[in-house]
Amino acid sequence: MLERNSGKAEAVRHGMLQLLEGSARYVGYWDADLATPLDEIPRFARHLDEHADVEIVFGSRVKLLGRTVERNAWRHYSGRVFATLVSLMLRLPVYDTQCGAKLFRATPDLKALFETPFLSRWVFDVEILARLIATRGGEGTRSAQRVVHEYPLAQWVDVSGSKLRASDFPRAILDLARIYAAYLR
């Protein structure tokens, strides 16, 4: 438990480090509003079970036939712009870094991604990928593109009361620049 409110990124970082001290096969985090239902967790775990080379599963809010993904139009389209910028910056074809559903294979390498505080309070999910790229590079069987999978969610519903505002977009872009300078330059 954190002594003071240090933001979501720091809370997730501390929680992940604590979880990694245990003996769990998988560790992860979910947004508290449960826009992604908890019944997605077994699906993520099954994906990790079926793909031994995959270390990280990110939920992806893709509206496909047969799936229930309900998003606010403004947030969806601004998210698409943001995701495109992230893909270009990371040189990784990622669709949705900001979905709050993530499951990780518990490994010693994973702990290294969470050992130091994040630069960003808002886009730390991008920073996790940047750290992975910086430590693994883009080549070989352990590159980010091989060990991270995006998993299309069966259900995701935009929950009202989000703290995300249009004024946060410039801060997120500035954070992307800081992440790029720290890990990818």
pLDDT per position as a tens digit, 95-147: 999 999 999 999 989 999 999 999 998 899 999 999 999 998 766 656 888 99
Q: How many CB atoms are closer than 10 A to CB 20?
A: 19
Q: Is the pLDDT of residue 148 over 90?
A: yes
Beta strand segments in the chain, E: 26-29, 56-60, 68-70, 102-105, 148-152, 155-157
Q: Which of 164, 169, 84, 177 is nearest to 130 (CA)?
A: 177
The position carrying tokens 């933001």 is: 7
For residues 41 and 109, what is the distance between their CA atoms, to the nearest angstrom? 22
Domain 8-184: CATH class, spelled out: alpha beta
pLDDT, residue 49, reads 98
pLDDT per position as a tens digit, 22-63: 999 999 999 999 999 999 999 999 999 999 999 999 999 999
Buried b (16+ CB within 10 A) or exposed e, 116-151: eebbbebbbbbbbbbbbbeebeeeeeeebebbbbbb
pLDDT, residue 139, reads 62
